[in-house]
Amino acid sequence: MQPAEKYLFTYRGFYFQSAFTSVEYLDSLENFEIRDSDVFIVTYPKSGTIWTQNILSLIYHEGHRDGTEKVDLVDRAPWLEYNVRNVDYVSRPSPRLFASHLPYYLVPKGLRNRRAKVGNSTFII
């Protein structure tokens, strides 16, 4: 086994960290139910994703840091492909905010089939 194989696996041509996700979980994203109020931050790595997550979560909390400063970013705007806290995303209250580095062909079918607003290499529904 190559050292990288202990930490990474390939899923449909894209590399993932094996400690944080699985093939079964990624398969389940295909049919992830999208709500009209969901917001997805889908970006290339190292393109300001964390800043965007913070800005949008502040907007959601009407600019009050009191609503966000004690809540980890991964809980305010979790990564769709890495459910590190094993949260039931379906039960999250609307509006739900998600971040992702998934390529277009791996995002949930519902996101691909809806008309998304696109800005600065970010899909926002």
Classify 40 as helix, strand or coil. strand
Residue type, 56: L
Coil, helix or strand at residue 42:
strand
Specify whether 61 is catalytic: no
3-state helix, strand, coil in the chain (%, to 5): 35, 20, 50
Round to whole Å and give the CA distance between 101 and 113.
Answer: 18
- Active-site residue (options: 99, 101, 111, 122): 101
Active site residues per annotation: 101
